[in-house]
Amino acid sequence: MGQLIYGGNRVIELDDEVLAHLRSVTFTKLRRNESFALTVPGPGGGCEALWIHAAIPLRFMIDERASLNRPFLVDMMAATNSAGGLDLTSREFAPRQADAGLQAISA
């Protein structure tokens, strides 16, 4: 399990493979000066929405090297451009994550 540290103090645990894809998408978006909404599983079983912006500190800590899956990256990138942003709890991503052993959880 890897960690996304948002804003310096919020720790979100995600599967290394999901986190590696999210890191790639985030770096691409921020390099273009594009912000986006990210929804992740929240504490206690809910979900929480985060605003990803270059001014907000982010840190990606990945335990194991993960290979990137281009179709998954394309789908994630397309979601970042939608009105709702990238939702890692949505049906679009959750079943794919479970099928690939990529279930996201929150700390």
pLDDT single digits (tens) 50-107: 999 999 999 999 988 888 999 999 999 999 999 999 999 887 776 445 444 444 433 3
Per-residue pLDDT band for 6 (boundaries 50, 70, 90) equals very high
Is position 91 within any domain? yes
- In angstroms, the CA 46 to CA 42 distance is 5
Reported in sequence order, the residue ranges of 1-107 that DSSP labels E, i.e. its strands, are 2-6, 10-14, 36-41, 47-52, 58-61, 86-87
Is position 34 within any domain? yes
pLDDT tens, residue by residue, 28-51: 999 999 999 999 988 888 899 999
Is position 24 within any domain? yes
How far from 74 is each of 13, 25, 79, 93, 100, CA to CA, in Å?
22, 9, 9, 12, 16
Q: In this structure, what token pair is assigned to residue 55?
A: 């001014």
What is the extent of the structural domain holding 67? 2-99
CA proximity to 26, closest of 15, 37, 40, 42: 37
> What domain count does the chain have?
1
Is position 36 within any domain? yes
- In angstroms, the CA 72 to CA 18 distance is 9
Is position 77 within any domain? yes
In terms of DSSP bridges, do strands 47-52 and 36-41 run parallel, antiparallel, or are they unpaired?
Answer: antiparallel
Is position 43 within any domain? yes
